[in-house]
């Protein structure tokens, strides 16, 4: 697959075949330009097996908007469709439909409401609400799900790892283990969700961050194989990067070779007026070795030298490492907090792939169609009540309690304003016995989460940069209950329906159940 | 990130920062053009938690070769490096180094040996052996690992799902849940590993396959919301695609609505001389519903109509579904094999992300350097003996037993020919007490697995198409012991060292242990 082929595959044909066959059905039946609304939401927070997330961090919207702006049916794309054949050998797509795609097969007709990137989001809450001609809104499904599902998944993982780092520097190191070019979108999502920097040079450059890194074992091996030593390798590195010198000390033996050689080089740097940055540990008992490394570095007069940890880290391992240091450091006469404070975490595979939960189960569901000058709600019912769709043209609100903490997200119909409802009734999405009634005095704020981002394809809001998204995330995470934030077995966060939306849902379920055979 | 930025991020800067800082260390020390060899191998088969793989399918080489051909340092790439600063505010990269990168920073100097795509491969066996100037071979690491690790992971999962399908059609449906643009490379790997087709339109087009798909629930919902019915939706679809008609029957109620409506439409198609293809089930008890659907379709005179199954399938679920059909079908007077024979599997998330094992742990290790007109082996030892590197310039062979089945992979030094060794000694890579001695009569064939693919950047072998890779895979999988192939708790396959390689490894370990402090 060369670059031209990749451009073709990454453009508007980055979609499932059925989006195009359905679009042609709509075209033939004259409903392709009927206005439709689709909700994109996920049904469950990531579950990593031994632990699971209590919230997600929204990410990917900016990437989808770029993709939408650039994607359309040009001659190459139309030729792909023109070549497709039915089993009977006839063209699958009519020329009139292809002409329509050529003219209208782009996203200039789409209106998009969305929860901005960096925000805390929860299951069943629409992250994006897509409004546009039925055939076009349908065509957007695959690429929108793909990008927002993935980046939200990674931003969520990054936020969890960020929590376990307790304010220390977090570096994204996953490019080599990422799923192909997801390394790039993944670096973006990791930066939104909580990584401070990435080792990925290209992704960092286009996102406006300096890439970070140290060196590999191979550099030490190379100097040794050519007749030199670990010390020679360290010295060569330090001479070239005297102000950025982080040395990987575990190629031969961390405590008996790497650390003494690094300290010797650091002393030389100091004599030349430079301040060495620190060492990296990539194998062994990282908690124990961190304490020993800190002790040696202290003894040599480098109390500020950092200790970068890497090697299959994730949020639980980092938590475990800091817990072990707290327990073990005093035995060596070390202050545990002073050891922990100098740690830097390099997290690879687990962050860039969301190991244990490699996909967010985001879906894209038709919720409303414009008919006879009004929105007609659409529903799909399921044997599993929690999977029955919340129908209609909706808005999303967040309710903060008297402490200023987020207590529930509320889905309402578009014309509703929960700020005008007193008391406020929150209905459980599927269990009719469960509801909450909130009196005005228990509510400090009600915030509209969905923002109109595109109106007929035109951007109508300024998208902040990644730095701004990070601030949004920090603010939102700080307003989550600690029970929801915790890394293991978090509390469920309430996502509720307004009374009006609840009633509409029940009415539609009733109508569909009475009318199963159609026709 | 717009298209131009993405091109920058996907090119030669798709790498970790340390590859470039190390390359400059080599440059400053005059060893950047010293010839080096790196082995790329993985240490363990994917472990999905409840089950694990007993072998892998090699994939991704063709994609890496395309990337290498197209990637080099142009003005934009050099400007990214030129802008990087040390902590002291000085340029991190010297202009002389950047000039060297501008002239030589491409892969025209690389010689590459590799195990071809589609072949069965095992842990610790080099999938690629990269030979080239130290700085350039180092620069290749991130992109090579990224692409081959991922595609091998997905081809392996596809091969497992393929086994569970017992010869039935397997469709890759994962684009929306893939990790960003990994949907494209993932579709390629899935086709190599065992998927018959993909729903991904763009990826299928550039890979030369027709995309496959049915329709979504939203099409039925749309017709209902506009005043029509499920039947109307089905009829509209059937009129447009009379020879390719697969109807999704679970939007309202599979047995009471979807299936009767589909059969009514199929009867209309038949009257017009068309043959309906079948139905799709996407929820509920797929085994039970398959039996019921088969019974209804039989009764209506459509014994050949297929039943496409989808909804979070993986190799164990498919196995479970067919087992349940075998048990349950007779109770409904149905022949189980006749039900199973009409099934088609659409597999999404689990296949395209390798759910449960989202990364292959492939590594890229320096094994040899050219010094004083000879290859000097390099090693890295580890506290975990299995992680100690197999050093030197090596070749990979596969040994087939008297039944013609693969019995072991053998790593030898480059000059060795195991076909000339009798008896053949196979040493365990780390346990000195374990070895096998094979007499000539117990060996039917010894095959060289590594092929020279690039010589100084020039392709020196014809890379087959995906169809050829599939045939290679089928042949290789058929020559695996059933114990290695099985889906749960497979037997370990032997990967051994030749006596000469074993002795070299022990010698190098000894030398390094005596000489820990270097300098």
Distance (Å, rounded) from C-alpha B430 to C-alpha B416? 20
Instruction: Give the C-alpha distances (Å, rounded to integers) separating A423 from A162, A441, A502, B345.
Output: 38, 10, 16, 51
Q: In this complex, which of A3, A13, A242 lies closest to B202 when CB atoms are compared?
A: A13
**A386 contact B CB<8A:** no
- Across the interface, whether the CB atoms of A14 and B186 are under 8 A apart is answered no
Q: In this complex, which of B17, B141, B371 lies closest to A201 when CB atoms are compared?
A: B17
Distance (Å, rounded) from C-alpha B489 to C-alpha B97? 51
Distance (Å, rounded) from C-alpha B210 to C-alpha A81? 10
Map out the domains of chain A with their CATH numbers.
Answer: 1-32+72-105 (no CATH), 157-352 (3.20.20.70)
Residues 6+ apart with CB under 8 A from A167: none
CA dihedral B76, B81, B84, B86 (to 10 degrees): -170
Chain A residues within 8 A of B213 when measuring between CB atoms: 16-18, 21
- Across the interface, whether the CB atoms of B257 and A379 are under 8 A apart is answered no
Q: Closest chain B residue to A361 measured between Cα atoms?
A: B177
Query: Across the strands, what pairs with A177?
Result: none
Residues 6+ apart with CB under 8 A from B512: A224, A252, B379, B381
Shortest Cα distance, chain B CAs vs residue A178, angstroms? 6
Distance (Å, rounded) from C-alpha A303 to C-alpha A338? 9
Q: Count Cβ neighbours within 10 Å for each residue of B29-38 and write b for 16 or more, e otherwise.
A: bebbbbbbbb
Q: In this complex, which of B17, B141, B383 lies closest to A212 when CB atoms are compared?
A: B17
Query: Across the strands, what pairs with A113?
Result: A129, A452
Shortest Cα distance, chain B CAs vs residue A418, angstroms? 27
- Across the interface, whether the CB atoms of B181 and A186 are under 8 A apart is answered no
Name the token pair of A218: 């191979």
**B509 contact A CB<8A:** no
Kindly report the backbone phi and psi dihedral angles of residue A411, in degrees, each rounded to the nearest multiple of 5, phi listed first. Answer: -95, 130
Phi/psi region, residue A457 (left: phi>0; alpha: psi -120 to 50; beta: rest), is: left
> What's the first-to-final CA gap in chain A, in angstroms?
47
- Across the interface, whether the CB atoms of B175 and A216 are under 8 A apart is answered no
- Across the interface, whether the CB atoms of A88 and B201 are under 8 A apart is answered no
- Whole-number percent of chain A with pLDDT over 70: 99
Sheet with A374-377, side-by-side order of all strands:
A374-377, A363-371, A35-41, A128-133, A111-114, A451-455, A458-459
**Over its length of 519 residues, how does chain B's per-residue pLDDT go in tens digits?**
888 899 999 999 999 999 999 999 999 999 999 999 999 999 999 999 999 999 999 999 999 999 999 999 999 999 999 999 999 999 999 999 999 999 999 999 999 999 999 999 999 999 999 999 999 999 999 999 999 999 999 999 999 999 999 999 999 999 999 999 999 999 999 999 999 999 999 999 999 999 999 999 999 999 999 999 999 999 999 999 999 999 999 999 999 999 999 999 999 999 999 999 999 999 999 999 999 999 999 999 999 999 999 999 999 999 999 999 999 999 999 999 999 999 999 999 999 999 999 999 999 999 999 999 999 999 888 878 888 899 999 999 999 999 999 999 999 999 999 999 999 999 999 998 999 999 999 999 999 999 999 999 999 999 889 999 999 999 999 999 999 999 999 999 999 999 999 999 999 988 877 654 443
Low-confidence winner among A180-184, A224-228, A233-237, A381-385 (lowest mean pLDDT): A381-385
- Across the interface, whether the CB atoms of B218 and A365 are under 8 A apart is answered yes
Q: In this complex, which of A221, A232, A261 lies closest to B366 when CB atoms are compared?
A: A221
pLDDT of residue A515: 53
Name the token pair of B440: 């000539």
- Across the interface, whether the CB atoms of B10 and A358 are under 8 A apart is answered no
Shortest Cα distance, chain B CAs vs residue A345, angstroms? 16
A517 pLDDT band, cuts 50/70/90, is very low
CB A346 within 8 A of CB A309: yes
Query: Across the strands, what pairs with B326?
Result: none
Distance (Å, rounded) from C-alpha B61 to C-alpha B224? 48
pLDDT of residue B345: 98
3-state helix, strand, coil in chain A (%, to 5): 45, 20, 35
To probe the interface with A, which of B39, B80, B157, B183 has the most A CB atoms within 10 Å? B183
Q: In this complex, which of A5, A358, A378 lies closest to B225 when CB atoms are compared?
A: A378
Q: In this complex, which of A63, A256, A358 lies closest to B1 when CB atoms are compared?
A: A63
Give the A window 415-474 contacts with B, CB below 8 Å. Answer: none
- Across the interface, whether the CB atoms of A150 and B518 are under 8 A apart is answered no
Q: In this complex, which of A15, A201, A227 lies closest to B13 when CB atoms are compared?
A: A201
Kindly report the backbone phi and psi dihedral angles of residue A342, in degrees, each rounded to the nearest multiple of 5, phi listed first. Answer: -95, 5
CB A314 within 8 A of CB A351: yes
Query: Across the strands, what pairs with A452?
Result: A113
Distance (Å, rounded) from C-alpha A128 to C-alpha B87? 41
Kindly report the backbone phi and psi dihedral angles of residue A224, in degrees, each rounded to the nearest multiple of 5, phi listed first. Answer: -65, -45
Distance (Å, rounded) from C-alpha A122 to C-alpha A411? 12
Instruction: Give the C-alpha distances (Å, rounded to integers) separating B165 from A129, B304, B338.
Output: 38, 18, 14
CB B339 within 8 A of CB B326: no
Instruction: Give the C-alpha distances (Å, rounded to integers) separating A290 from A203, A309, B257.
Output: 30, 8, 64
CB A442 within 8 A of CB A401: yes
Q: What is the pLDDT of residues A170-190, one digit of tens each?
A: 999 999 999 999 999 999 999
Mean pLDDT for A146-174 is 97
Residues 6+ apart with CB under 8 A from A232: A223, B518, B519
Q: In this complex, which of B201, B241, B518 lies closest to A80 when CB atoms are compared?
A: B201
To probe the interface with A, which of B180, B237, B311, B385 has the most A CB atoms within 10 Å? B180
- Across the interface, whether the CB atoms of A16 and B213 are under 8 A apart is answered yes
Chain A residues within 8 A of B215 when measuring between CB atoms: 18, 21-22, 25
> Omega into A114 within 30° of 0, i.e. cis?
no
To probe the interface with B, which of A35, A50, A151, A180 has the most B CB atoms within 10 Å? A180
Chain A residues within 8 A of B92 when measuring between CB atoms: 241, 244
Q: In this complex, which of B88, B201, B251 lies closest to A20 when CB atoms are compared?
A: B201
ipTM for the assembly: 0.96
pLDDT of residue A507: 93
If you count residue pairs, one on A and one on B, with CB atoms under 8 Å apart, how many are there?
Answer: 445
CB A362 within 8 A of CB A152: yes
Place of tokens 């310039």: B393
Strand ranges, E, within B326-469: 343-347, 362-371, 374-377, 394-401, 406-413, 424-427, 435-438, 443-448, 451-455, 458-459
- With residue B293 as reference, give the H or E element that holds it: helix B286-299
- Across the interface, whether the CB atoms of B257 and A227 are under 8 A apart is answered no
Name the token pair of A130: 């897509």
CB B347 within 8 A of CB B336: no
- Whole-number percent of chain A with pLDDT over 90: 94
To probe the interface with A, which of B16, B173, B204, B352 has the most A CB atoms within 10 Å? B16
Shortest Cα distance, chain B CAs vs residue A232, angstroms? 7
Give the A window 135-174 contacts with B, CB below 8 Å. Answer: 138, 141-142, 145-147, 149-151, 173
Query: Angle A182-193/B3-10 helices, nearest 10 degrees?
Result: 110
- Across the interface, whether the CB atoms of B243 and A16 are under 8 A apart is answered no
Instruction: Compute the mean pLDDT over every residue in chain A, rounded to the nearest whole number.
Output: 96
* Nearest CA among A20, A134, A125, A22 for reference residue A378: A134
* Nearest CA among A454, A361, A409, A471 for reference residue A62: A454
Chain A residues within 8 A of B368 when measuring between CB atoms: 225
CB A101 within 8 A of CB A16: no
Q: What is the DSSP secondary-structure string of B75-128? A: HHHHHHHHT-B-TTSSBSS-HHHHHHHHHH-SSTT-EEEEPPTT-EE-TTS-SE
- Across the interface, whether the CB atoms of A1 and B207 are under 8 A apart is answered yes
pLDDT of residue A379: 85
Is a pLDDT exceeding 80 seen at residue A159? Answer: yes
Q: Count Cβ neighbours within 10 Å for each residue of A268-282 and write b for 16 or more, e otherwise.
A: bbeeeebebbbbbbb
Distance (Å, rounded) from C-alpha A165 to C-alpha A487? 12
Residue count of chain A: 519
- Across the interface, whether the CB atoms of B173 and A16 are under 8 A apart is answered yes
Distance (Å, rounded) from C-alpha A445 to C-alpha A398? 8
Name the token pair of A24: 């042609």
> Omega into B474 within 30° of 0, i.e. cis?
no
Give the B window 199-218 contacts with A, CB below 8 Å. Answer: 199-207, 210-218
Distance (Å, rounded) from C-alpha A108 to C-alpha A136? 10
- Across the interface, whether the CB atoms of A179 and B186 are under 8 A apart is answered yes
Name the token pair of B312: 């979070």
Indicate the pairing of strand A494-497 with strand A406-413: parallel
Name the token pair of B359: 């990364």
- Across the interface, whether the CB atoms of B70 and A202 are under 8 A apart is answered no
Chain B residues within 8 A of A255 when measuring between CB atoms: none
Name the token pair of B86: 């040390």
Distance (Å, rounded) from C-alpha A235 to C-alpha A253? 17
pTM above 0.95, yes or no: yes
* Nearest CA among B477, B422, B458 for reference residue B156: B477
Distance (Å, rounded) from C-alpha A344 to C-alpha A351? 15
Distance (Å, rounded) from C-alpha B137 to C-alpha B370? 13
Give the A window 325-384 contacts with B, CB below 8 Å. Answer: 349, 353-356, 358-362, 364-366, 368-369, 371, 376-383
Shortest Cα distance, chain B CAs vs residue A385, angstroms? 13
Distance (Å, rounded) from C-alpha B71 to C-alpha B68? 5
- Across the interface, whether the CB atoms of B175 and A14 are under 8 A apart is answered yes
Distance (Å, rounded) from C-alpha A206 to C-alpha A202? 6
Name the token pair of A435: 């509801």
- Across the interface, whether the CB atoms of B145 and A177 are under 8 A apart is answered yes
Chain A residues within 8 A of B14 when measuring between CB atoms: 175, 181, 183-184, 200-202
* Nearest CA among B140, B114, B137 for reference residue B127: B114
**A257 contact B CB<8A:** yes
């Amino acid at each position: 697959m060369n670059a031209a082929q990749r451009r073709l595959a990454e453009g508007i044909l980055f979609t499932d075949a059925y989006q195009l066959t359905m679009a042609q059905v709509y075209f033939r039946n004259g409903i392709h330009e009927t206005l439709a609304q689709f909700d994109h939401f996920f049904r469950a927070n990531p579950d990593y097996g031994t632990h699971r997330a209590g919230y997600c961090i929204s990410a990917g919207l900016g990437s989808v908007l770029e993709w939408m702006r650039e994607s359309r049916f040009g001659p190459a794309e139309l030729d792909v469709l023109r070549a497709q054949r039915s089993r009977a050998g006839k063209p699958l797509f009519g020329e009139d439909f292809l002409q329509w795609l050529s003219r209208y097969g782009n996203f200039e007709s789409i209106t998009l409401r969305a929860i901005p990137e960096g925000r805390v989001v929860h299951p069943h809450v629409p992250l994006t609400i897509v409004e546009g001609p039925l055939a076009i809104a349908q065509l957007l499904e695959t690429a929108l799900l793909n990008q927002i599902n993935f980046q939200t998944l990674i931003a969520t993982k990054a936020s969890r790892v960020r929590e376990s780092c307790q304010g220390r520097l977090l570096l994204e190191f996953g490019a080599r283990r990422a799923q192909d070019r997801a390394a790039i979108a993944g670096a973006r999502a990791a930066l939104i969700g909580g990584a401070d920097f990435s080792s990925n040079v290209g992704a960092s450059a286009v996102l406006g961050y300096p890439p970070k890194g140290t060196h590999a074992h191979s550099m030490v091996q190379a100097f040794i194989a050519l007749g030199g030593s670990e010390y020679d390798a360290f010295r060569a590195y330090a001479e070239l990067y005297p102000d950025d010198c982080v040395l990987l000390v575990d190629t031969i033996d961390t405590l008996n070779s790497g650390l003494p050689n690094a300290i010797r080089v650091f002393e030389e740097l100091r004599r030349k007026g430079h301040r060495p940055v620190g060492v990296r540990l990539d194998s062994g008992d990282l908690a124990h070795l961190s304490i020993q490394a800190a002790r040696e570095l202290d003894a040599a007069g480098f109390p500020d030298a950092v200790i970068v940890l890497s090697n299959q880290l994730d949020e639980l391992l980092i938590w475990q490492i800091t817990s072990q240091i707290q327990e073990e450091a005093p035995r060596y006469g070390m202050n545990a907090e002073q050891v922990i404070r100098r740690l830097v975490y390099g997290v690879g595979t687990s962050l860039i792939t969301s190991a244990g939960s490699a996909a967010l189960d985001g879906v894209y569901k038709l919720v409303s169609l414009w008919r006879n000058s009004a929105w007609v709600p659409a529903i799909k019912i399921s044997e599993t009540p929690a999977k029955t769709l919340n129908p209609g043209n909706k808005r999303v609100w967040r309710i903060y309690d008297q402490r200023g903490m987020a207590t529930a997200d509320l889905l309402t119909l578009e014309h509703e304003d929960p700020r005008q409802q007193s008391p406020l009734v929150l209905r459980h999405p599927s269990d009719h016995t469960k509801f909450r009634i909130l009196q005005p005095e228990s509510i400090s704020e009600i915030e509209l989460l969905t923002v109109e981002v595109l109106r007929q394809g035109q951007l109508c809001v300024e998208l902040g940069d990644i730095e701004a998204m990070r601030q949004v995330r920090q603010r939102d995470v700080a307003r989550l209950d600690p029970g929801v934030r915790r890394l293991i077995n978090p509390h469920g966060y309430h996502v509720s329906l307004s009374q009006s939306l609840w009633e509409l849902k029940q009415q539609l379920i009733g109508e569909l159940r009475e009318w199963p055979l159609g026709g």
